Amino acid sequence: MAHAVKALFPETKLAIGPAIDEGFYYDFDIGRPLTPEDLSLIEKKMAEIIRQNSPFVCRIVSKKEAVELFRKMGEDYKVELLGEIPDEEVSLYEEGGFVDLCRGPHIKSAGMVTAFKLLSVAGAYWRGNEKNKMLQRIYGTSFTDKKDLTKYLDFLEEVKKRDHRRLGKELDLFSASDEIGAGLIIWHPNGALIRRSIEDFWLKEHYKSGYKVLYTPHIAKLNLWQISGHLDFYRENMYSPMEIEGIDYEIKPMNCPFHIHVFKNSLRSYKNLPIRYAELGTVYRYERSGVLHGLLRVRGFTQDDAHIFCREDQIEEEILNVLDFTLFVLKTFGFVEYDIYLSTRPEKFVGTPENWERSTNALKKALEIKGLSYEIDPGEGVFYGPKIDIKVKDSLKRPWQCSTIQVDFNNPERFDITYRGSDGKEHRPIMVHRALMGSLERFFGILIEHYSGAFPLWLAPVQVEILTIAERHADYALSLSEQLRAAEIRTELNLDNEKIGHKIRNATIMKVLIWL
C-alpha cells in the first residue's frame, strides 16, 4: 500500500504502518485529505504492483547508513524513528524499487497477496500527540482467500448496522455535543429508562450479596490523590486541580479513597470483616479528543464500583464470591462467552514484591478453584496490585473489556487503616477493588451493539406501545395505557392521526417488541 501511495503521490512522506488485529494501517503526510476516489486509485495501483510479483528483499544496514538514506529521500518521519532505535543495525525491505524501514519478516513476493481491501481513511496525529501534524491514516485488511475477505467485509457491514452511535441517535437513547463538551454523555429519556433498569437490578443484587451502598463527592483535596498514589502513577489521566480558598482540589478519577475514608471513620474488629462497600460513582478522566468514541471512550462515566475490606485469610473466599457475582451479572445481560486474563506486576508499582506475589497467587488460586480458563497478561496489573480482567464476547464474537477484580495490599498501608484482631492488636485489612460492568456508559454501548438496539423486554425503554386505528378508539386506548402503567409496564400511546401501517412501521423502527 505504501508503495502504491508513493507511486501515485510522489511528494508523500511515510510515517508508520503496523499490522493490527483487524488488518493493517499506514500513516501518510500527503498534504491534503484523501477521498474515497483516492482509495480506489490506490487499490488499483496495489493490484498492479501485486501482478508484477517483485520479491521482498531484506538488507541489514547500519543505523547511520539508514539515516543518510532516508534523509536523502526526504523521509523525515523515518529519520525521527531511527533516532529512537537503540540498535546499531536496522533492517530495510525493498520491493520493486520501493524501500522501507521494517523489522520484518515478510512474505517472499508481492504476488502472494491474493485478497485485500482498503477500508477507510482517518486523520491521525503523528505519534498520537495533538500538538504534532495531522496525518492521513489508511486502514486496510488482507486475507489469503477471497471468500474469507468477503465474509469479513459482510461482518464489517453488520458492525456498521449495530454501531451504538447510529442506533443511539435513531432510538433517542443518548447524545454528546461539542457545545456541552466532548466525551460527556447526555442520557435521553429512553436511555435513562434503560439505565434505571440496570441500576435497580444492580442495587437489588448488591444488597442481596451483603454490600452497603455509598454516595461520595465528585471532588476532593488534591492531597488525597497524593496519598493514594494516583498523582505519581496516574497523573496523565487526571485533570488540572482547581483552587478553592487557597487549597487545591481535584475532580475524582477514582472512588477508592472515599471508600477507605468510610472504613477508617469507625473502629473495626476482625469480627466485622469482610466489609463490602459499593457505589455507582461518577468519575472523570482525561482522554485525548482523538480517542473519544461514543459511549465506549468518554471523559465522564459512572463505575459500578466496589471495595471489599477483609482479612488475609478471607481473600480467597471473597474473590470466589466476586467471580460468581460477576458471571451471574454478565449472564443476566446476555453475555455467556468471555475470555479471562490474569494481569501481573507492571514495571512501575508500589508495595513489596512479596505482597504482589501473595496477591497474584490469591487471584490465580480462585480462578483454578472455579475451573475457569485464563491467560497471563504480563505486566498489565495496575500500579497498586494484580488483577483479573474479564472480556465478554458479544453476539458478533467481539471481545469487550468489562469486569475487573484487583487485590490491593498497598492502599490500606498508605492510608493507615487497621482493624482490631482476635489477639487485641491492630492489623492491616486487605482491599479488593472490583467492577462488574466496568462503567455504565461503556456497558450500555456494548449492550446496544450486542442486541442491535432490540433490548430484551426487561430492559426495553418502551415495553408496550398502543396504536389506535381510528379516533373512536382513543378512550379505550387511554384506559388500557393507564392500566399497563399502573402495573409498572413501560407504555407509550400513539393517538396520531396516521394510518396503522405507518404507526406499525415507526414502532418497528424504534425496536418496540410488543404493540397493541
Residue with grid cell 479513597, as numbered in its chain:
257
Adjacent-strand bridge partners of 276? 308
Is-catalytic flag, 303?
yes
Q: How far apart, in whole angstroms, are the C-alpha atoms of residue 253 and residue 250?
A: 9
What DSSP string runs through 181-192? -TT-EEE-HHHH
Q: Are 231 and 223 in contact (CB under 8 A)?
A: no
**190: closest CA among 444, 418, 373?**
444
- Which of 164, 259, 276, 285 is labelled catalytic? 285
* Alpha helices (H) in 373-430, listed in sequence order: 410-414
- Which of 13, 307, 434, 450 is labelled catalytic? 307
Q: How far apart, in whole angstroms, are the C-alpha atoms of residue 33 and residue 193?
A: 41
Q: Are 43 and 56 in contact (CB under 8 A)?
A: no
Q: How far apart, in whole angstroms, are the C-alpha atoms of residue 449 and residue 395?
A: 8
- Which of 27, 100, 256, 394 is labelled catalytic? 256
* Grid cell digits, residue 472: 373512536
Q: Are 421 and 427 in contact (CB under 8 A)?
A: yes
Neighbours of 365 (CB within 10 A): 14
Compute the CA torsion angle 399, 400, 405, 408 (nearest 10 deg). Answer: 110
**183: closest CA among 316, 285, 59, 41?**
285
Task: Tell me phi and psi for residue 350, to 5 degrees.
Answer: -115, 160
DSSP state of 342: E
- Which of 433, 442, 450, 511 is labelled catalytic? 433
**297: closest CA among 464, 164, 472?**
164
Helices and strands counted in the chain (H then E): 16, 26
Is-catalytic flag, 307?
yes
C-alpha dihedral sign at 219, 221, 227, 229:
positive
Is-catalytic flag, 305?
yes
CA 504: distance to chain centroid? 36
Q: How far apart, in whole angstroms, are the C-alpha atoms of residue 253 and residue 218?
A: 9
Q: Are 429 and 465 in contact (CB under 8 A)?
A: no
DSSP state of 246: T
Q: How far apart, in whole angstroms, are the C-alpha atoms of residue 168 and residue 295?
A: 10
- Which of 38, 100, 304, 305 is labelled catalytic? 305
- Which of 6, 276, 345, 387 is labelled catalytic? 387
Adjacent-strand bridge partners of 91? 60
SS (H, E, C) 459-486: CCCCCEEEECCCHHHHHHHHHHHHHHHH
Is-catalytic flag, 285?
yes
What are the catalytic residues? 256, 285, 303, 305, 307, 387, 433
